[in-house]
Amino acid sequence: MNILGIHAYHDSSAALVRNGKIIAAVDEERFNRNKHTGDFPRKSVECCLNMGNINWDDVDMIACAGSPSSAIIARNFQLDFQRLKEASTLGDINKLTVKDYLKSVGKSMLGKTDKLSLAGLKETAALQPDALPDYLTLPQIPDNARIAFVEHHMAHAASAFFTSGYPEEDTLLITADGIGGRKSLVVWQVQNNQIKELYHVGGNGSLGWFYGMVTEGLGWWVGDGEGKTMGLAPYGDLTKVPEEALGAFLPRYEDGLLVTPYEFGVPTTYQEGSSYHWHFKDSEKIKTLTGAYERADIAARAQDLLEQEMLNIIKAWKTKTKAKRLVTAGGLFLNVKLNQKIIEADIFDEYFIFPCPGDNGLSCGAALAAYYAEHPTSRSKQIRDVCWGPSYAPENIKTLLDDRFLDYEIVDDPCEVAAEELANGQIVGWFQGNMEYGPRALGSRSILMDPTKAENKDIINAKVKFREAFRPFCPSLKIESSNRFLTVERPERYMITAYRVREEEIDQIPAVVHKDGTCRPQLIEKDIYPRFWDLLDKFEQKTGVPVLLNTSFNIKGEPIVCNPREALRCFFDTGIEVLVMENTVMRKKKRI
Ligand SMILES: [Fe+2]
């Protein structure tokens, strides 16, 4: 059974799930090169079908995150009202009405519906199938392919639970983000593969909006800059900002229930390219705080407030449900410091965070929710990696370089060559195998460097990533060595949680230890990432350190590279010194 998962808004993506297994999943931004794109995931759909070796006739179901009244879905799949009306829904979604349909189609055709009569809308909708040129439409969905719509937070919940491998019993699910489907935080349990909601709040309880609003007040984009707020926080002193100065903007919970909402108002949404930005009116009030307090101190206070509030919510629901395991997803759980606090609180036997907790994970979630709803006896299967994107054959890379008259070398052992270059202090672009899904480079599209020299962090920030000096870098390390550097008892595979670095080892890997003595590690297991493990092993043989600085293969503000052409562009446009794509190696002149 082939289920195509679709998310067609901020951070749009597509996924292919076959018999409950994720075969392919890709972010549209990697193809259209517009970070956080909200475009319909047209290229991602094509990629998923290619990776699954199927065509449209083989698709049994299309599972869309969100509502049937989504104009972007109706238009791109050329769905008429009857088809949408017959679609199944999972979660708290109202059935589509004729009015909804006409409004959505009319809106997407003409931009505005305000002045259109129902008759006018009908006329517009009737024209719809032929109204788009061929190159803007996907092939018609086969008649036998069913369509399902999965509520936004339910798709988040499904993405995490059905990839955790946890049993239903004693497992608590929490999803939290800015907002999605009019909800910002939902508490769930699972019974017979049906995800059941226990509690939810709307925008006025949104911890994600609180953090986003602070981020905007500090001068960054909502929905993009939250990681910067988190990265800046350890440089600040939260005690310099009175709790009430920022706490006044924070929705408050007691016993896991919202008791003091904060009226954020409706955020203004506007588009830049195909990506969306949001503006909160009260961000101006936070901006004025930057006149009284250092930005880092404000970030530190905001981070602390977020952690305490969320932790209290989680503890309360742990008490109510007596759950032994926790599963989370939603953009709020991109906050690795929050995840660290949840783990350190040690209140659950196990804790799983979906590696793509943001909205790009919704395509997987929608497809998984649809699959498991129809297969109540199937059990959640733990994923081991997220390399679900396209790969490029070595011979195609060779042809690409030949066509551009570029000098390169083909090597038998790219790990040996890269390890030698890294040990000699070079910055290496590392392009191997299937691209990662979601926000992290995990050894398929990575920029690597020696972590043993503190100055390497500044060199990469300044010469390659072109980003703020306070932004930290993450380590990838052999799992066998994790206890030497960290106190971690989980196979931490996705750089989704921060950990304290053992004090006596900080000097060994200073370029990947943040200001507060933590790092966001990826532990490499030989059977999951054989080539990356081999590279780390060879680097260890040369330096004694089984760790590499691993940052995503892109520059600030751009999506991670997807194909070899983009890797070439990034290589020539930055201070990357060596590019290893599969078994080809290119070098610039030596910096040192
Ligand atoms: Fe979301």
180 CA to middle of ligand 1, Å?
5
CA of 408 to the centre of ligand 1 (A): 43
> Smallest Cα–Cα separation from 343: which of 300, 311, 383?
311
| Strand duo 13-18 + 88-90: pairing | unpaired
**For residue 98, pLDDT beyond 80:** no
Residue 373 reports pLDDT greater than 90: yes
- Using one digit for the tens of pLDDT, what is the confidence trace for 525-540? 999 999 999 999 999 9
Question: Distance, CA 221 to ligand 1 centroid (Å)?
Answer: 16
Query: The whole model's pTM is what?
Result: 0.94
Binned at pLDDT 50, 70 and 90, residue 460 comes out as very high
Would residue 57 count as lying in a domain? yes
Q: How far is the CA of 236 from the centre of ligand 1 (A)?
A: 29
Please state, rounded to an integer, the average pLDDT across all residues of the chain.
91
Bridge partners (DSSP) listed for residue 147: 62
Question: Ligand 1 mean position to 184 CA, how many Å?
Answer: 8
Cα–ligand 1 centroid distance for 181 (angstroms)? 8
Q: Which amino acid is at 324?
A: K
Q: What is the mean pLDDT of residues 348-353?
A: 96
Please say which residue of 153, 178, 201 terminates a domain: 153
Please indicate whether residue 518 or residue 97 has the higher confidence score (pLDDT).
Answer: 518
Query: What whole-number distance in Å separates Cα of residue 72 and Cα of residue 267?
Result: 21
User: What's the 518 CA to ligand 1 centre distance in angstroms?
Assistant: 27
Amino acid 96: pLDDT: 80
Considering the domain architecture, whether residues 113 and 199 belong to the same structural domain is answered as no
Q: 295-321 vs 207-217: helix axis angle to the nearest 10?
A: 180
Residues 6+ apart with CB under 8 A from 177: 153, 156, 184, 206, 208, 330, 331, 332, 358, 359
CA–centroid distance, 330 to ligand 1, in Å, is: 5
Q: What is the DSSP string of 350-368?
A: EEEE-SS-SGGGHHHHHHH
From 129, 153, 177, the end of a domain falls on: 153
Ligand 1 centroid from CA 533, angstroms:
33
Residue with tokens 């038998």: 412
| CA 226 / ligand 1 centre spacing (Å) | 14
Ligand 1 centre distance from Cα of residue 383 (Å)? 21
Tell me the residues surrounding ligand 1 (ion) with CB < 5 Å: 177, 180, 359
Query: Residue 512 is which amino acid?
Result: V
Query: Could you tell me whether strands 183-191 and 194-201 are parallel, antiparallel, or unpaired per DSSP bridges?
Result: antiparallel
378 falls within a domain:
no
Same domain, 241 and 330: yes
Q: What is the mean pLDDT of residues 462-475?
A: 86
Answer whether 441's CB lies under 8 Å from 494's CB.
Answer: no
Is residue 371, in this structure, part of any structural domain at all? no
Size of the chain, expressed as the number of residues it contains: 592
Please state the rounded mean pLDDT for residues 336-347: 95
Q: Is 215 helix (H, G, I), strand (E, B) or coil?
A: helix
Say which residue, 237 or 103, is predicted with more confidence.
237
588's CB contacts (< 8 A; 6+ apart) are 576, 577, 578
Interval between CA 193 and ligand 1 midpoint (Å): 21
Regarding whether 297 and 221 lie in a shared domain, the answer is: yes
Within a domain: 388: no
85 located within any domain: yes
Q: Name 202's Cβ contacts closer than 8 Å, sequence gap at least 6.
A: 179, 182, 183, 184
pLDDT (0 to 100) of residue 140: 73
Q: 3-state class of 586 per DSSP?
A: strand
- If asked whether residues 438 and 561 sit together in one domain, one would say yes
In angstroms, what is the span from residue 541 Cα to ligand 1's centroid?
Answer: 43
Say yes or no: 477 and 580 in one domain.
Answer: yes
Is it the case that residue 108 has pLDDT exceeding 70? no
CATH number of the domain encompassing residue 485:
3.90.870.20
pLDDT digits (tens, 9 = 90+) for 117-152: 556 555 555 545 455 555 556 777 888 899 999 999
SS3 call for 41: coil
Q: Cα–Cα distance between 277 and 226 in angstroms, integer?
A: 13
For 363-483, where are the E strands, in sequence order? 409-410, 428-431, 445-449, 474-478
Domain annotation covers residue 158: no
| Token output for 252 | 């408050």
Beta bridge partner(s), residue 26: 14
| 230 and 266 share one domain | yes
Residues 6+ apart with CB under 8 A from 16: 2, 3, 4, 5, 22, 23, 24, 25, 48, 49, 51, 52, 54, 367
pLDDT, average across residues 229-252 = 96
Residue 547 in tokens: 């760790």
Q: What is the pLDDT of residue 508?
A: 95
Instruction: Give pLDDT, residue 118.
Output: 55
Q: Which residues contact 570 (CB under 8 A, 6 or more apart)?
A: 429, 553, 554, 555, 561, 576
CA–centroid distance, 21 to ligand 1, in Å, is 22
- Ligand 1 centre from 358 Cα, in Å? 6
Residue 344's domain is classified under what CATH number? 3.30.420.40
H or E stretch covering 531: helix 530-543
Q: What are phi and psi for residue 115, nearest 5 degrees? A: -95, 5
| Cα gap 501→510, rounded to integer Å | 10
Nearest to 153 by CA among 161, 141, 143: 161
For 291-320, the DSSP string reads TTS-HHHHHHHHHHHHHHHHHHHHHHHHHH
- The rounded Å distance from CA 325 to ligand 1 centre is 22
Question: Does residue 138 sit in the same domain as residue 255?
Answer: no
Q: Which residue has the tokens 């009737």?
A: 126
Structure tokens, 45: 């759909």
By three-state DSSP, how is residue 168 classified? coil
What is the whole-number distance in angstroms between the Cα of residue 212 and the centre of ligand 1? 13
Give me the residue label for tokens 């070098």.
587
Looking at the 3D structure of the chain, how many domains does it have? 3
**Which residues have a Cβ under 8 Å from the Cβ of 560 and sit 6 or more positions away?**
30, 435, 436, 441, 445, 552, 553, 554
Please check whether residues 398 and 502 belong to one and the same domain: yes
Distance 59 CA to ligand 1 centre (A): 26
Asked if residue 236 and residue 146 are part of one domain, the reply reads no
In the chain, % of residues over pLDDT 90 = 78
The pLDDT of residue 512 is above 90: yes
Q: Ligand 1 centre and the CA of 345: distance in Å?
A: 25
State pLDDT tens for residues 443-454. 999 999 999 999
Nearest residue to 434 via CA among 384, 383, 389: 389
Amino acid at 81: F
Q: What's the 243 CA to ligand 1 centre distance in angstroms? A: 28
The answer to whether 4 touches 367, Cβ cutoff 8 Å, is yes
- Domain assignment present for residue 218? The answer is yes
pLDDT tens-digit series, residues 408-437: 999 999 999 999 999 999 999 999 999 999
Judge if 133 and 38 occupy the same domain: yes
Q: How far is the CA of 174 from the centre of ligand 1 (A)?
A: 12
Centroid of ligand 1 to alpha carbon of 460 (angstroms): 31
Determine phi and psi for 180, rounding to 5 degrees.
-165, 125
C-alpha 420, offset from chain centre: 32
Do the strands 428-431 and 547-552 form a parallel or antiparallel pair, or are they unpaired?
unpaired
Q: What are phi and psi of 74, to 5 degrees?
A: -60, -45
Q: In the structure, what pLDDT confidence band is assigned to residue 193 with cuts at 50, 70 and 90?
A: confident
Residue ending a domain, among 153, 183, 201, is: 153
For residue 330, pLDDT over 80 is answered with yes
Give pLDDT tens digits for 238-247. Answer: 999 999 999 9
Alpha carbon of 357 to ligand 1 centroid (Å):
8
Rg (alpha carbons) of the chain, rounded to whole number: 24
Q: How far is the CA of 277 from the centre of ligand 1 (A)?
A: 14
Which pLDDT does position 537 carry in this prediction?
98
Domain that holds residue 516: 394-587
Residue, of 78 and 219, whose pLDDT is higher: 219
- Domain co-membership, 20 together with 105: yes
d(CA 353, ligand 1 centre) in Å: 14
119 found inside a domain: yes
pLDDT bracket for residue 113 (50, 70, 90):
very low
Count of C-beta atoms within a 10 Å radius of residue 400? 19
Centre of ligand 1 to C-alpha 175, Å, is 8
Separation of 154 CA from ligand 1 center, angstroms? Answer: 10
> Are 522 and 573 in a shared domain?
yes
Cα(329) to centroid of ligand 1, in Å?
8
Task: Give the model's pLDDT for residue 270.
Answer: 82
